Structure formats: C-alpha cells, structure tokens
A = this chain, B = another copy of it.
Amino acid sequence: MEADKKIRVAILGSGTVGTGVYKIIQNQKEEFPHKIGSELEVAKILVRNINKQREGIPSEILTDKWADIINDDSIGIVIEVMGGIEPAKTYISEALTKGKNVVTANKDLMAEYGHELLETATAHNCDLLFEAAVAGGIPIIRPIKQCLAANKITEIMGIINGTTNFILTKMTEEGMEFEDALKLATELGYAEADPTADIEGLDAGRKIAILASIAFNSRVSFSDVYTEGISKITAKDIKYAKELGCVIKLIATAKNTETGIEVRVTPMFIPVSHPLASVNDSFNAVFVHGDALGDAMFYGRGAGELPTASAVMGDVIDVCRNTVYNCNGRIGCTCYKNIPIKSMDNIESKYFVSTLLENKSGTLGAVANTFAGNNASIDQMVQKNKIGNNAEVLFIIDNVQEKLFLRSIKELSAMHYVKEISSIIRVHNDIIQ
C-alpha cells in the first residue's frame, strides 16, 4: 500500500451530477486519507464554456480541451458525467487505453456499448464502474455483482424511472389525466423539455438492459428490450386497476428462463400488497429474486444531483482503494454467458383489456370464443357502464403468449359489435391466484 499517494481525478461535465461530485469531494476532503489511504484531488473539470462562472469551483481547474486531461499522466481517474454517446464513448475509450480508470453515470452508453468498453477496460487492467447508471443513488450494481454473486438470479423487476413514477403517482392519488400530470412533472423539474425517453420507457429500457446483463451474466443490449410507455394510460384505467386491488406502475422486468431471457418495460397492474406498489413519487426500487437469497428489494432516490453523485463517488472510492492496493480491473465484465433473448412473440403475460361492446345477446359469447380460439383464457370479466347501445366490458386474460393474444385482439377488432378496444395493459402474475 502506498499510503501517501495523492490520487487525482478529472470530471467530464459540470452539470448537476458533475457539480454534486465536485461538492462531495470538497466536503469529504478530510475523510479520504482514512477511507482510501490517500488524498483525493480534482485536477481538471472538462466544460463546454470555459468563461462561464461556476460558483464554488476555481476557474483554474476548468478546461474545454480533452487533451489537457488525456495527456496529463498524473490523472488516474476519469469521471464521466456528461452523458450522451459521443464524445463520451471516445473519451472513455481513450482514457482506458491510456491506463486511466473510469467511473461513469452514462446509462445510454453502457446499455449500448458496455460490452466493448468493458473489454477495453479489461485489456488495460483498468476499472470501469457505473453504479450511477441505474437507479441513481440506490446501490444495486455492486450488490448484484458482489453480494449476490453466489446466486442464480432468475428475476429482476423494478420501478427505475422517477419521472413516470411521479406521473403515475399523481394520476393514482389525485385522479389526474396523463397530460396534466406530465405538465406538473415538467413544471416541478421532474420531466425534461422533451420527455419522450422517460414516458415511452426508453430510459427504463436502457437501465433494465444493464441490470439484466449483470444479473444473468449474459449481455443484454437496449435493442433487446421491448419498451412500452405510459402516455396511453388514462385516469379510467387507473380507476379500474384500483377496483381490482391494483395500482398501475411502469415496470421494467427481466427473467432468466429455461428458454432464454425475457426483458421488457411495460405499464403493469401490480397488486397493492406487492412491495413495489407502495413505491411512490420519484422514488425507485428494484426487486431481485435469487435462488439462495429469495426475494430482496432495494429502494431509494433514482435521480437527482446528490443521490447520483453519491453513487458516482462510491465507485470513485472503490477505484481509489484498488489503486492503493494495485488491483485495478479486479472486477471487470461479468457477462461470460451467451443466453438467447426470447422474442416478445413467445413471452407469456396476463392482460387487462377494456372494451366497448354492442349491448346485444351473443356478443359476449362471440368475444369469449375469440379469446378461447387463441388459447387466451378469460380469468375475470366485469360489465361496467352502458353507453347508448354499447357497454363497457373489462377482461382479465390469464397467461398467454403475446402472439396469440395479439391475434385475438386483431380478430376482435374486426368484429362489427366490438366498437372499441380502449386499453391493453399487462397484469402482474400475482393478481390471479
């Protein structure tokens, strides 16, 4: 152990997370020698506009030139919190190639190019850590890679997008419609100006790709993930969910089955008794099932300046400990298997279907026959309000393959007495006993 060594880091990006990281390093200055056996110092911060004043950050450590960082051999760790694919990918790749360790919070990058970058890290005996890329401040990647390493993990299920969880919470608690809840989320800063990545499930899709890769020791890319967002969910859907003892959550789920990996992001009916049902507002939670562990859940803040910076700094401290003990690269890529990804067509789900049917004898029989003809068994059927000559009828369909279910929906849509299929939402397995 070289106890008197000073470790120097560079931060790429000075947005909210970068600023949070800088703050923590300043606040914890006195703690580092005890925690990591070394001092820790921010050598450089890469910014776009070097002339912009940044409160509390001395201007002499700001630079707008990557060369100032990559060519500075005294910098041992690069902390990438700029986001986006390029130039982050090039910078990380160059840093690793030069023997610099990297900590990143970049889920877009890790979900798409994680494998390639982790290989570069291994080739140069460097650490590439990314705890902050999933579920913000909640420790989840390290617990899975280390604490649960002796488990065969068969399922991960999580609420891993704070924006959509905030919106669904408002819709549930205050009966708001999606558009109004989104507007509120934007006003409060929970949703970005272009909210597409959040509300269409893409952000959660990237995170579940990363989690599934780690949990199943087999690469899952973002392109493998089926994603469906919450923009079509209505206040009425949420009301019907409540009547069935459920809440609607945007659930990212990955299962390691005998026939391959199932991975998707979809809105889902969750029974109120399930631990994920009470995860509200912008909180995140990840549920894990392992063969030895059984069920476990990790809950906390999935985003925000300091929670995300907390996760980044946990990784930085780990890299420092490795540096002091000369064992960087100690835990690299853990994807040593090659498990096939199941096609969405072959994945089984339970479904909630709300319809508007002509109120006429024979209609229900015909609908039931259509489902049955596609192997979709009706578990519950509830007739709601009559609207003119039509009636609103809700169905819960028991587990059936997606392709068969969709064929039944297609056939139903073509029937003249099926006036409308208003909603199709997946249902958690536990809802039907």
A299 interface contact, C-beta 8 A: yes
* A310 partner, pick from B27, B290, B301, B330, beta carbons under 8 A: B290
Q: Distance in Å from the Cβ of A337 to the closest Cβ of chain B?
A: 8
> Which B residues are in CB contact (< 8 Å) with A310?
148, 150-151, 290, 292-293
In the complex with contacts A143-B142, A148-B314, A314-B147, A300-B307 CB distance below 8 A:
no
| Copy total for this chain | 2
In the complex with contacts A149-B35, A314-B148, A321-B330, A295-B300 CB distance below 8 A:
yes
Contact with B along A306-338 (1 / 0, CB 8 A): 110111011011100110011101110010100
Q: Is the CB of B293 within 8 A of A307?
A: yes
> Which B residues are in CB contact (< 8 Å) with A137?
292-294, 296
- Identity of the chain B residue whose Cβ is nearest the Cβ of A288 in the assembled complex: B300
Q: Distance in Å from the Cβ of A1 to the closest Cβ of chain B?
A: 9
Q: Is the CB of A300 within 8 A of B292?
A: no
Those of A51-86 within 8 Å (CB) of chain B: none
Q: Which DSSP category, helix, strand, loop or mixed, fits chain A's interface? A: mixed
A217 interface contact, C-beta 8 A: yes
A204 interface contact, C-beta 8 A: no
> Which B residues are in CB contact (< 8 Å) with A309?
150, 292
A24 interface contact, C-beta 8 A: yes
Sorted nearest first, the 5 A-B pairs with minimum C-beta distance are A150-B313, A296-B300, A139-B147, A327-B327, A292-B310
> Which B residues are in CB contact (< 8 Å) with A325?
327, 329-330
Q: Is the CB of A317 within 8 A of B131?
A: no
Q: How far is the CA of A27 from the CA of B290 in the complex (A)?
A: 13
* A138 partner, pick from B35, B296, B307, B317, beta carbons under 8 A: B296
Q: Distance in Å from the Cβ of A9 to the closest Cβ of chain B?
A: 13
A195 interface contact, C-beta 8 A: no
* A298 partner, pick from B295, B298, B317, beta carbons under 8 A: B298
Q: Is the CB of B35 within 8 A of A311?
A: no
Q: Distance in Å from the Cβ of A173 to the closest Cβ of chain B?
A: 12
Q: Is the CB of A299 within 8 A of B300?
A: no
A422 interface contact, C-beta 8 A: no
A278 interface contact, C-beta 8 A: yes
Q: Is the CB of B301 within 8 A of A296?
A: yes
Which of A296, A314, A318 has the most chain B CB atoms inside 10 A of its CB?
Answer: A296
A372 interface contact, C-beta 8 A: no
Q: Which residues of A contact B (CB under 8 A)?
A: 20, 24, 27-28, 31, 34-35, 131, 137-139, 142-143, 146-152, 217, 275, 278, 290-301, 304, 306-307, 309-311, 313-314, 316-318, 321-322, 325-327, 329-331, 334, 336
In the complex with contacts A20-B292, A296-B298, A325-B327, A142-B149 CB distance below 8 A:
no
Q: How far is the CA of A147 from the CA of B306 in the complex (A)?
A: 13
Q: Is the CB of A299 within 8 A of B297?
A: yes
Q: Distance in Å from the Cβ of A335 to the closest Cβ of chain B?
A: 10
- Identity of the chain B residue whose Cβ is nearest the Cβ of A137 in the assembled complex: B293
* A139 partner, pick from B28, B139, B317, beta carbons under 8 A: B139
> Which B residues are in CB contact (< 8 Å) with A296?
137-139, 298-301
Q: Distance in Å from the Cβ of A41 to the closest Cβ of chain B?
A: 15
Q: Is the CB of A150 within 8 A of B317?
A: yes
Q: Is the CB of B294 within 8 A of A300?
A: yes
Which of A294, A311, A318 has the most chain B CB atoms inside 10 A of its CB?
Answer: A294
Q: Distance in Å from the Cβ of A375 to the closest Cβ of chain B?
A: 36
Q: Is the CB of B299 within 8 A of A294?
A: no
Q: Is the CB of B327 within 8 A of A299?
A: no
Q: How far is the CA of A35 from the CA of B300 in the complex (A)?
A: 28
> Which B residues are in CB contact (< 8 Å) with A35?
149, 217, 334, 336
Q: Distance in Å from the Cβ of A269 to the closest Cβ of chain B?
A: 19
* A314 partner, pick from B150, B314, B318, B326, beta carbons under 8 A: B150
Q: How far is the CA of A403 from the CA of B19 in the complex (A)?
A: 45
Q: Is the CB of A131 within 8 A of B147?
A: yes
> Which B residues are in CB contact (< 8 Å) with A150?
24, 28, 309-310, 313-314, 316-317
